[in-house]
Structure 1
Amino acid sequence: MSTLRALSANRTTSGIVFALLSAATFGISGPLGKSLLEAGWSSGAVVGARIGLAALILVIPAAWTMRGQWSRLRGGLGLMAAYGSVAIALCQFFYFNAVARMSPPVALMLEYLAPIILVGWAWLRTRRRPGRLTVGGTVVAMLGLALVLDVLGAQRVDPVGVAWGVAAAVCLAVYFVLSAKSDGVLPPVVTVAGGMVFGSVTIGVLAAVGVLPVEATFGSVDLLGTETSWLVPVLGITLVSAVVAYLLGIVGTQRLGSKLASFVSLTEVLFAVIASWIMIGDVPGPVQGIGGALIVAGVVMVRFDEPRAGAGPMHPAAPVAPEALPAVPEEADPAPASATPGGAPGGLPGVGRRA
């Protein structure tokens, strides 16, 4: 039993590390995307370039991983389609529609209602009340997020924009659920690659019908206090904030489950503030530092509300016993290989985690 507990603890610890690294790599998408937007790029062009190039990069390693196992793709098509169209493409599309009607911090705050949506959905689905630490951690983390984003400042709120922001939050919640359920269905690199392909198709359709304008310039951009080629932020937002970030994110979510992973992802906003400070000179204030500390405190509270005895997935094929589940059940119970279940935007103005 002690061995199982040790394995579970190691799995959770490594999951937190992967999730934090994912949040950090997603976080730099804000200043990178902002440099392109200020140079004349439309949000559709930024999103399209990010997803499309990531798809091209990931297709080769994904094909290499699946050699001799192509029959497994049939069982994962639904997962990749939902992951790409909803969790990647539509999440970004809804976020940018919200940004078009309100300030980015408010839109981002709305999208990061995703952890609360997951807790509420688990409550409705199981009729089991969340633990006190989960409820308290949710409140503390949301308060910290509000301080980091300075939503108490002079912000304009539009009802239609609120609707778009909530839709983005639902898509972000779907991202965490599908990432957790993908464990045991397909290798992470294949799931992300397939998702990028389906996401590219979705963005292409939205652009073709004129819903998502696509405009780009190919001159210099301001980044790190100097002028540089547009290729630098494009490659950064693709290789680091898409390829690496999504791969780390899906592995971390598989090990933590959708609920805990969604709360750890809140630290991405803090990473985005720090990255913006370093890369484009947007200096954070003391209130944002306090907000970052509250986010971390909220994540710790939710973590302590996880299974008391180190219960949790010991191995992709070993589900947790019902009696070992916490007050809000984890979504990380790996799906069997035959199952076919169906980054974001957490950054700074114009582009972020899933954007």
Structure 2
Amino acid sequence: MTTMADDTPVGAPAVSVEAPARLAGGLALAVVSAASFGMAGALARGLLDTGWTPVAVTLVRIGLAAVLVLPLGLVALRGRWSLLRRNARLLLTYGCLAVAGAQFCYFSAIAHMPVGPAILIEYTAPAAVVVWLWLRQGQRPGRMTVAGAAVAALGLVLVLDLLSGASLSLVGVLFALGAMVGCATHFLVAGDVDNGLPPLALAAGGLVVGAVLLGLLSLVGLLPLRAGTDPAAYAGHQVAWWVPLLLLGAVTAAVAYVSGIAAGRRIGSRLASFVGLLEVVFSVAWAWLLLAELPGPVQLVGGLLILAGVVAVKVGEPAAGRESAPV
């Protein structure tokens, strides 16, 4: 997930043609965010292979990110504590589903299946958002949106390699679908521009809630918390266990969230979400470089169809709903 929220006023142009430097800077930040987020799966997989549980990796990642982002969120609030009280339910939902739920399910998925298919399944979330808004709020999608969702669904069938009868981890697929639900929740909450929360405050609040939730569930024994100090293997080399953990918290979470927010402020949430699709490409690339994992030809074609379908879904969004989607 590449952007946490957007500060662009509703109805305002996302990009000013008079500010090419601002556009270039925003695009660069969006690419940095996508590349940082995309590294998470490959880094986590190295730790999972040494015996770490998904909840342990997730807890350390978002806990460290919360420590780094929380001061920025407090500064962004500027003493407006009433915003936190008024949006307590929203922060709980965001932290539980979009932060803790999405990351835990994604890391659990890659413990049972390759990184590439897992992230591709997660990124069917925009199509799920369209269906949710249609069923809950009556926002009937246009032909382009329906066509994009159908193409993404076909791509998902190819990514799962269902047509060839290949062996499939049902547990991994279910966890990846759970990550998709968390990702869809992120899009819905981050698109709500009426709550008044500064983006950094939303990011910090979600990270804190997610870390506390996973910590409590681990303490009471509902989620297995297991870690170790064995070195992790990447690209045929052994590295100390704390190296991927530091990168997961500081780079794939803190840097990724903050750069994504900054990108959204400069280029608008719609353009940032398009650039955010590069997270899928970077995830596959990092998995190839660090883990020697590369989807097969059929899965790669399916991945391209998913990306094309998501682009069609975004293009087909109603003009009034491109910059915001009420929760």
- Bigger shift: 287-296 or 15-24? 15-24
Residue 32 of structure 1 deviates from its aligned partner by: 0.4
Aligned to 1:156: 168
Query: Helix, strand or coil: the match of 2:233?
Result: strand
Output the amino acid matched with 1:256.
S
From 31, 36, 47, give the equivalent of 2:42. Answer: 31
Pairs within 5 Å for 1:1-355: 7-10=13-16, 21-95=32-106, 103=113, 111-147=122-158, 150=161, 154-156=166-168, 158=170, 166-181=177-192, 185-249=196-260, 255-256=268-269, 267-306=278-317, 325=320, 329-330=321-322, 332=324
Residue 184 of structure 1 deviates from its aligned partner by: 6.1
Output the amino acid matched with 1:219.
D
Matches of 2:157 and 2:254, distance apart in 1: 28
Aligned 8 A contact 2:45 2:110 in 1: no
Output the amino acid matched with 2:13.
L
Residue 127 of structure 1 deviates from its aligned partner by: 3.2
- Bigger shift: 264-273 or 24-33? 264-273
Deviations 1:57-113 (A, max 9, x none): 11222223334444433333333222111211123344566677x646776565444
What TM-score does the superposition give when structure 1 sets the normalisation length?
Answer: 0.71
Aligned 8 A contact 2:127 2:310 in 1: no
Matches of 1:18 and 1:295, distance apart in 2: 24
Aligned 8 A contact 1:61 1:189 in 2: yes
Matches of 1:182 and 1:209, distance apart in 2: 36
Matches of 2:289 and 2:195, distance apart in 1: 39
Matches of 2:317 and 2:186, distance apart in 1: 21
Aligned 8 A contact 1:177 1:331 in 2: no
Deviations 1:172-192 (A, max 9, x none): 211111111157622222211
The share of aligned pairs that are identical, in percent, is: 43
Matches of 2:43 and 2:86, distance apart in 1: 36
Query: Helix, strand or coil: the match of 1:181?
Result: coil
Deviations 1:110-157 (A, max 9, x none): 544422321112222343431111122222234445545656562335
CA pair 110-287 structure 1, distance change in 2 beyond 3 A: closer
CA pair 281-169 structure 1, distance change in 2 beyond 3 A: closer
Output the amino acid matched with 1:276.
A
Aligned to 2:4: none
CA pair 147-161 structure 1, distance change in 2 beyond 3 A: closer
Q: Which blocks of at least 5 consecutive residues in structure 2 are unaligned?
A: 1-9, 18-22
Aligned 8 A contact 1:29 1:237 in 2: yes
Output the amino acid matched with 1:22.
S
What TM-score does the superposition give when structure 2 sets the normalisation length?
Answer: 0.77
Residue 200 of structure 1 deviates from its aligned partner by: 0.7
Matches of 1:224 and 1:28, distance apart in 2: 14
Aligned 8 A contact 2:124 2:310 in 1: no
CA pair 58-69 structure 1, distance change in 2 beyond 3 A: same
CA pair 229-64 structure 1, distance change in 2 beyond 3 A: same
Residue 38 of structure 1 deviates from its aligned partner by: 1.4
Aligned 8 A contact 1:225 1:281 in 2: no
CA pair 214-240 structure 1, distance change in 2 beyond 3 A: same
Aligned 8 A contact 1:182 1:191 in 2: no
Query: Helix, strand or coil: the match of 2:191?
Result: helix
Aligned 8 A contact 1:20 1:264 in 2: yes
CA pair 119-18 structure 1, distance change in 2 beyond 3 A: farther
Residue 237 of structure 1 deviates from its aligned partner by: 1.2
CA pair 331-86 structure 1, distance change in 2 beyond 3 A: farther
CA pair 182-232 structure 1, distance change in 2 beyond 3 A: farther
In angstroms, what is the RMSD of aligned CA positions? 3.7
Output the amino acid matched with 1:156.
L
Aligned 8 A contact 1:114 1:170 in 2: yes
Q: Which blocks of at least 5 consecutive residues in structure 1 are unaligned?
A: 308-323, 336-340, 342-355
